[in-house]
Amino acid sequence: MALDPISTFLLKYAGKVIVKKAADALLTKKESLMIRFKSNFTQIKNQDVRFSISYLIRIKIPGTSKFLLVRGHRIKDQLQPVGGVYKKINGFSEFEKWGYKEDCGAKGIKSDDISKDDLRFRVKGKYALDVIKWFESRKDRETTYDREFNEELIEDHGFDKDIFYSKSFREVQKTMKVFGFSTFHQCYEVLIYDIVEFLPTPEQEVELKRLLKNPRKLGSDFMVVDISEIERLLVIENEEQIAKIGEHTKYLINEK
C-alpha cells in the first residue's frame, strides 16, 4: 500500500543525522519545523523520548593518522572517544514541565551517584524541540570539556597531571540524530554530540607520541588506533580482533 505524502516525509526524516559546523546553530528553521511537526502530530507526542547529550574529544597523535581511544565505563567491551555526557547545573526542577524522567535500566542506563545530573534522560515527545533549544542556549549546563579528560585519562589511566594540567580545545562540529528508534532502549531517541579537538602543547605532543610504543592487546584500557580501524569499527592485531570500536567514534573522523 502506498504511503501518503506526510507519512513518506516522516519516514524519511526519522533517525536523520544533522551535522553542523561548531559555529552554526544546531537547527535551521526548516529542521525546527520538521521536529515540531513530528513531535506534535504523530504518536511520538505523548511517548517518552530518550535524550543523550554528550561531547566527544578528538585526541590525535601528532604527525600520524592515529587517535587515542579509551575503554567505555558503561559498555566495557568497546573502545570509544574520551568524553561523555554533559552535566546539568542546578538540577532538573525546570524540566518538570516537560515530563522529565531519569534514565533507567529498562529504557536507558541505570542512574547512580556518578551519573547524577547527566544529560541523559527522558521527556514527553512534544517537548523535544524545547529541550534542543534549551541545550543550544547553554543555560544551566556544563560548557567545558576538562572534566571527562581529567577523569578518563589523568585519574583512571595515570596521565601526568602536571603535564596535562593546562588544556586547550577547539570546537569542531555538532551532530544530532533525531527520533531514531532504539531497539535496545525500546523508545525514540534524540542523540546530540559536540565534537571537540584537543590542541596539545609541545610537551603534551611528546607524551602523546610516546603512546605509539604501547603494546596493543586484548583488554587494554586505552589504545591508539588508526583512522582505517575507526572506519571498520574494530582493531586487528596479529590477525586477531582485540577490540571493537563504538559506532559514534566515526564522528571523530567526520563520518556519519
Per-residue pLDDT tens for 9-32?
Answer: 554 556 678 999 999 999 999 889
Placement of cell 511520538 in the chain: 44
Mean pLDDT of the chain: 88
Per-residue pLDDT reduced to its tens digit, 207-241:
999 999 999 988 889 999 999 999 999 998 888 89
List, in order, residues 6 or more apart from 134 with CB less than 8 Å away: none
Quote the cell numbers at residue 86.
Answer: 554533559
Range of the domain at 97: 5-253
| 146 pLDDT above the threshold of 90 | yes
Closest CA to 79 of 68, 71, 87: 71
Mean pLDDT, rounded, for 168-185: 93
Beta strands of the chain (E only): which ranges? 16-21, 48-58, 66-71, 78-80, 82-85, 101-102, 120-124, 169-182, 187-198, 222-226, 234-237, 240-245
% pLDDT > 70, the chain: 88
| 3 pLDDT above the threshold of 50 | no
Q: Are 72 and 80 spatial neighbours (Cβ–Cβ below 8 Å)?
A: yes
Specify the pLDDT at position 76. Answer: 66
Specify the pLDDT at position 104. Answer: 66
How many structural domains is the chain composed of? Answer: 1
| 8 pLDDT above the threshold of 70 | no
Q: What is the pTM of this model?
A: 0.89
| 138 pLDDT above the threshold of 60 | yes
